[in-house]
Structure 1
């Protein structure tokens, strides 16, 4: 063979090897990425040609299902049960907009049948000649409780449509019993196979003046927690060796350390029940006296109070990268306090740069309710094949223990007293309200965020709740005890067997 032919042959061999290598790379290493690419309409067509798995509530109530159609798409995704109430949990599945929220997104590989754990089911379906099917997701959601939470949020007194969220947890396990957010949206409008109507719904839901209904305010939004964060501040003090009887200032206003700024009690008055100008930590908690908590952290906690405060907050999960539930959760934070005592004083009352999700605040309440043990929250109870064979079950697991049982009992006692000092107080509840400022300007004057976290103080606390209302209709007087507390109590009463 002459030399030119040898060169051509070698070049052909190199090109064939390169072609095979590229084909292998695309089909093996990039297969998952290409399959999940939102521009890959063939995958969508394939998914619409199979029966996507169902999403059900804890009692079996169907929240999402796929029903047969007579058109080129064999199945239509449908949300048959109070879709606006449950959309923060389910999310949506749309040919146009795919699935990018809720369980539909977080468990997409199970629901569409591509998960490796469904290999046996896929093989049996292929062997029997049956169309491929997706797996099912069983959630921890109590459907009656979810409806109550959504109804109470929707009907709360607000300036316009209520913007807020509720999370209810089972303290002993971390199960999410309810996760409601308002305003909400109807996922059926996006799942429709009339693409023009789906586009109109998308534009409506994402309009700037529509209240952002597709945001799950329970896990996607971060808020200053206000006085509800005094639970963590109190935990810091107790862990540092202080007692509920430690004496603190009852002054209506104090000057912040190393600063010209001052900090006042919400009422602008002296903390009630004072003796010789001081109150106990229990009294300060009961009446939510800001000045006392500022002094507690800047003068009373021994050692490096900022480090103690930040460390305790982290033990409660604030500042940690939150695990999925399996949906992604925004990362709560206490901010960068450093050695700034003025920042520490403001952070101690849940202001400055402290930001929490509603889920995180519910976890804080649940941790106290559970004797100081923080459980991992979750909303997926089990995964199943289409034939209802269980392939995965979520077992309750503890993160850590931020508090001893005695410390949890001490905070519980303070929260019981706090509830009794709240408007329309109810027996048998331990709670803390919060009224959080959030203005970006120095003038303030905005409607504060109204918070309420609570649980039933017993040896077997069954439920802990966190509620936020962004736009109460009392303006600057939209306190947590007036705007958010009635919602939290209604949810807890419904779980205890009251009216639903």
Structure 2
């Protein structure tokens, strides 16, 4: 064989070898990826030919599939639109799944291993296959109250059952209509998605768990917990000057509006929390030391990594602290401290639950298409941030905040309410962010814990966030929640 033919033959052999290797790579290595891809039209057609299971709240579907006359047999619909979109997410031809639609996709699609016998029965009987249902923990009254109270503002609200960790309400505002992302019209889906993407923040982002912010004075609960665990009591008198010189600097830290916490320059710890005295808690944090403040924060779940419930929750963090000056500022919830609204609710929840922190969860149970239960969530203890005795003192201090201090607008007639407001500075040219975390219930029996975050706005956490929390807690308790 002459040289040119030999080169051609080798080239052909190399090409055939590469072709065979590529075919095997696609069929073996990438088969699972390609089979599950949202761009696989065969799989897409199969998915829309099967009735997807429902997402249910208090026995009513908040996401369901209805039969259509077009090429795709079933259309995903959300009967209450925006109200539950923070949790359900959407099921989209173009953008795939988000929220519970994504995390519980196998149950909803009917492909979960726990539904294997059902699939076999469908095959043998010729019955149309269908997906299972996901029953959420959300309380309709609390969810509606949170949605209504946040209308027109940018922020988020979360409510938990302190005794179990069940999520009672989860709303991110502004919201969006998942129906417009789950239609059968790709052009309309893309157009609506472009509208959402042009907003800041994008309404599709779940601010309750995916965004974190400086908590401001809410973090004083952590500093107070560290002090109480270290031997302080609610009645311990601490320095509370009008200004506190940050250690190693020439900078004086003022109180809110440069107010005087107490003419004497000192006050009881409970009073310092009641009026949210910056200088008292900044100095207290320095006296305790970084290790104790960090340990208290970590005990409540901060700097312990993200987790799933089953939606993914980003990690809350104290951040870097370089010296006592930064420790002082971090001790009042500024500097590099960043938490999610869910983390704020977890702090209030643990205090309300006698110091025991329960793991938050959104899914109560998973059901087969015949409504038989295939999985039930069992409440789990996440940790014990503080002792029962310390929790009792923190409860007393938080009740004082609502009865006598900055949280008065969270009061509910006939119930005991405790809380902590927060007003966190952002940038020099932006309004402060507003917080409220707290709990409510019959005396000695807190049944709901909440966190409300409002981005910007004119006022303080007591002015803006506390009334939102009051509406959520009041609606839940009035509907018989927890009783």
Superposed pair shares fold, TM > 0.5: yes
Question: How far, CA to CA, are the matches of 2:435 and 2:36 in structure 1?
Answer: 39
Q: Is the 8 A contact 2:225 2:390 kept in 1?
A: yes
8 A contact 1:66–1:75 mirrored in 2: yes
* Structure 2 counterpart SS, 1:218: helix
Q: Secondary structure at the residue paired with 2:307?
A: coil
CA deviations on 1:68-122 (whole Å, 9 max, x unpaired) are: 1111101000001x211110010000111111x2101111121112222221111
SS at structure 2 position matched to 1:219: helix
Is the Cα–Cα contact under 8 Å of residues 248 and 279 in structure 1 kept in the other structure?
A: yes
**Pair 1:280 & 2:263 matched:** no
Equivalences for 1:41-440 in 2 at 5 Å?
41-57=41-57, 59-80=58-79, 82-99=80-97, 101-154=98-151, 161-207=152-198, 209=199, 211-272=201-262, 274=263, 276-299=264-287, 301=288, 305-337=289-321, 340-420=323-403, 421-422=405-406, 423-424=408-409, 426=411, 428-439=416-427
Could you tell me whether the CA contact under 8 Å between 1:204 and 1:210 is conserved in 2? no
Q: In structure 2, what is the Cα distance between the partners aligned to 1:185 and 1:425?
A: 28
Cα distance in 2 between the residues matched to 1:355 and 1:378: 22
Return closer, same or farther for 1:119/1:20 CA change in 2, 3 Å cut-off.
Answer: farther
**Aligned residues of 2:309 and 2:361 also touching (Cα < 8 A):** yes
8 Å contact kept, 1:61–1:143: no
Measure the CA separation in 1 of the matches of 2:81 and 2:480.
Answer: 22
Determine the C-alpha separation between the residues in 1 that align with 2:68 and 2:479: 41
Q: Does 1:456 align with 2:432?
A: no
1:428-486 alpha-carbon deviations (Å, 9 max, x no partner): 210100000111xxxx14211110111026433210010011132x2xxx200001110
**Which stretch shifts more, 29-38 or 400-409?**
29-38
Aligned-pair distance for 1:26? 5.6
**Structure-1 separation of matches of 2:271 and 2:283:** 14
SS at match of 2:149: helix
Q: Alpha-carbon deviation of 1:248?
A: 1.9
Deviations 1:314-350 (A, max 9, x none): 1101111132110111111000125x11111111100
Aligned mates of 1:112, 1:499 — CA distance in 2 = 34
Deviations 1:137-179 (A, max 9, x none): 110011221111100110xxxxxx4101110000000000000
1:22 to partner: Cα distance: 7.0
1:467 aligned onto 2:452: yes
Instruction: Check 1:241–1:53 CA distance in 2 against 1; reply closer, same or farther (3 A cut).
Output: same
How many pairs are equivalent? 461
Measured in 1, the distance between the counterparts of 2:210 and 2:40 equals 28
Find the aligned partners of 2:142 and 2:475 in 1 and give their Cα distance: 7
SS of 1:466's equivalent?
A: strand
Partner residue in 1 for 2:6: none
Alpha-carbon shift at residue 34 of structure 1 (Å)? 2.5
8 Å CA contact 1:63, 1:79 repeated in 2: yes
Contact 1:493/1:499 (8 A) holds in 2: no
Shift of 1:36: 2.9
Rounded Cα–Cα distance in structure 2 between residues aligned with 1:461 and 1:246? 26
Distance 2:31 2:122 in 1: 22
Closer/same/farther in 2, CA of residues 139 and 498 from structure 1, 3 Å limit: closer
Alpha-carbon shift at residue 133 of structure 1 (Å): 1.3
Q: Please state whether the residue corresponding to 1:168 is helix, strand or coil.
A: strand
Of 122-131 and 390-399, deviating more is 122-131
Q: CA RMSD in A?
A: 2.2
SS in 2 for 1:199: helix
Mapped to 2, the partners of 1:445 and 1:196 lie a distance apart of 39
Q: 1:77 aligns to what SS in structure 2?
A: strand
Detail structure 1 runs of 4+ shifted over 6 Å in the superposition: 18-22
What displacement does 1:280 show? 1.5
Q: CA deviation at 1:29?
A: 5.9
Deviation at 1:389, TM superposition (A): 1.5
Tell me how far 1:246 sits from its aligned partner.
Answer: 2.7
- Counterpart CA distance in 1 for 2:214 and 2:168 is 24
Matches of 1:35 and 1:320 in 2, distance apart? 36
Give the equivalent residue in structure 2 for 1:5. none
Distance 1:269 1:73 in 2: 65
DSSP-derived class of the 2:256 partner? coil
